[in-house]
Structure 1
Amino acid sequence: MPRPIVFIPGALRGAEVLSPWSARFPGAVVIELPGKGGLEPFSPVSIEAYRDHVAARSPEGALIVGQSLGGLVAIAMAARGWGGIAFDPPMTTTKLWPQQYSLRTEMARNPANSALRGFAFEIFGLREDGGLQERIYYSHLAAVRARVDIVTGDTPLFPPYGAPGPQCVFDAVDAEVAVRNPCIRVHRISGPHDLLAASPEACARLIAARLEDDELSVPAGA
């Protein structure tokens, strides 16, 4: 029986953007984060709350695959023993000018959405007065105790240019911190921030290779 796979979308994306992956990996499921797909948002919101939400809905032994914020959730789940793959997760937030732009644009379109404002502040440190408060998620990297593959692309975050969206957020400093934990491996492939959508073949190969590695690491008779 194939190992179950759980996909987690990013901050402003719904589960439907990852639904094609169920065709690539039969039996894979996409778990919507609260605040999307008709689910009530958390208050207050936190990475730990997202982690517990996904863990409670994931099949036992599943490989957790997350994009962007979903990748950060996958890393947090690895501290509880869930193996995972995190595609371009945000690890510190004040540098993330594309996400700041996108969130502020969404907030301007929905000025009455207090849940969105709370999410923007609690997760990304965006204050309503226009200021920023740093959010640092390196503690989640240090806590990882199951294998996590972190995958980033080759579209640099700086210097700022063009429209926000394609720039990758997991940078060389993040990678240096990540590999201090022997459970974490970092990969770079060709593509922008939304790797699962923009570079599906390369991502599928990485997921398939991880599934094979995990299968080979299981002792005979286990």
Structure 2
Amino acid sequence: MDDSDLKIGTATTSHGALYFLMDRDPRTFTRPIVIILHGALRNSDNLRGWYPVLSKHFDLLFVDLPGHGRTPADGEPTIRAFTDRVREMILRHFSDREIVAVGESVGGLVALGLANGRTPGLKAVIAADPPLSTAKQWPIYGNFTRRARENPIGDYLMTFMFNTFGYTPQGIDGDRVYYSMVSAVKIPACILTGDSPLFPVRSQPVIPCLMDEVDRFLIRSLKNPHVSMDIIPGKGHLCLDADHEPARRAVSTFCAEHLLTQTAGAES
């Protein structure tokens, strides 16, 4: 069992199609679904390593967000619009299924947005190192300016980076703050991060965590009983790493707790 079994699928929404990778069309089966959402300027192929980890028990959808991967650059390039698009996909095609959404970075913000109680069937979400406050994200801004200089990303994604992060090639246009999304969560949500600190600014081979101690303090201060935090040791921003045993264990356990346990209880 490996990710070479994955094939391309699509689901219609009122703002255009969403494309995804799947091993079989989950609309024709009944197993719980795990929806996996990539980060900004990445795509579903970056996370397909989760297929052999999770596919024994779940149907998997590796979704390309609008303007990324195979999904066309349709609709408004904002976190809210992306969230609404994924929610509409769930309501149209998977409303009778039990689902966990797992998102890295910006995909984690989308997952948190889905967790506001307006997505029937969604039992829980994982947000892996979401950028809750963006002006301080020096490694992401550096990567954005390098990409914009070496491999132009197009007007749609350029607008998305401005709307989501406040980034332009000329500088950072204010902060974008997403703590209110944590406050609005109404189902179990686990925020994962690594232990590679954001500061000081330094050169290193991996992207450090986007969440810092201020973010962790503010999440604790919000006292949302649905929200927990977990540290993945030995990882930075890309802590949603299927090759890393602590990450595999954290995600697999979370999905099993919120999907398999409930399914077993309903059948008994």
Question: TM above 0.5, one fold?
Answer: yes
**SS, match of residue 63 in structure 1:** strand
**How far off its partner does 1:170 sit?**
1.5
For 1:115 and 1:165, locate their aligned partners in 2 and report how far apart those are by CA, in whole Å.
27
**How far off its partner does 1:188 sit?**
0.8
Aligned 8 A contact 1:107 1:116 in 2:
no
- Report what 2:88 is aligned to: 56
What are the superposed Cα offsets for residues 83-104 of structure 1, whole Å, 9 maximum, x if unpaired?
A: 1011111100000001101111
1:75 paired with 2:119, answer no
1:194 paired with 2:258, answer no
**SS, match of residue 64 in structure 1:** strand
1:129 is aligned, of 162, 170, 174, to: 170
For 1:163 and 1:104, locate their aligned partners in 2 and report how far apart those are by CA, in whole Å.
17
- Report what 2:43 is aligned to: 14
What are the superposed Cα offsets for residues 184-215 of structure 1, whole Å, 9 maximum, x if unpaired?
A: 00011211111123763212211222133224
For 1:20 and 1:161, locate their aligned partners in 2 and report how far apart those are by CA, in whole Å.
29
**SS, match of residue 100 in structure 1:** helix
**How far off its partner does 1:57 sit?**
3.1
For 2:244 and 2:108, locate their aligned partners in 1 and report how far apart those are by CA, in whole Å.
16
Select between 182-191 and 39-48 the one with higher mean Cα deviation.
39-48
Cα distance change, pair 42–122 in 1 and its aligned pair in 2 (3 A): farther
- Report what 1:206 is aligned to: 250
**Structure 2, unpaired ranges of 5+:** 1-29
What are the superposed Cα offsets for residues 51-82 of structure 1, whole Å, 9 maximum, x if unpaired?
A: 12222334332100011111111111111353
For 2:248 and 2:242, locate their aligned partners in 1 and report how far apart those are by CA, in whole Å.
12
Aligned 8 A contact 1:64 1:85 in 2:
yes
The 5 Å alignment of 1:115-126 reads 115-126=156-167
- Report what 1:39 is aligned to: 71
The structure carrying a bigger strand percent of its residues is 2
**SS, match of residue 64 in structure 2:** coil
Aligned 8 A contact 1:98 1:164 in 2:
no
- Report what 1:28 is aligned to: 60
For 1:127 and 1:193, locate their aligned partners in 2 and report how far apart those are by CA, in whole Å.
21
For 2:188 and 2:80, locate their aligned partners in 1 and report how far apart those are by CA, in whole Å.
19
- Report what 2:11 is aligned to: none
Aligned 8 A contact 1:43 1:115 in 2:
no
- Report what 1:183 is aligned to: 226
Cα distance change, pair 123–146 in 1 and its aligned pair in 2 (3 A): same
What amino acid is the match of 1:46?
T
How high is the TM-score relative to the length of structure 1? 0.90
**How far off its partner does 1:113 sit?**
2.0
| Percent identity of equivalent pairs | 31
- Report what 1:100 is aligned to: 141
**How far off its partner does 1:177 sit?**
2.5
For 2:171 and 2:101, locate their aligned partners in 1 and report how far apart those are by CA, in whole Å.
34
Cα distance change, pair 119–182 in 1 and its aligned pair in 2 (3 A): same
- Report what 2:212 is aligned to: 171
What are the superposed Cα offsets for residues 37-64 of structure 1, whole Å, 9 maximum, x if unpaired?
A: 2322245311111112222334332100
**How far off its partner does 1:32 sit?**
0.5
Select between 31-40 and 127-136 the one with higher mean Cα deviation.
127-136
What are the superposed Cα offsets for residues 115-158 of structure 1, whole Å, 9 maximum, x if unpaired?
A: 23211210110135323311001111111001100010000000
For 2:32 and 2:153, locate their aligned partners in 1 and report how far apart those are by CA, in whole Å.
42
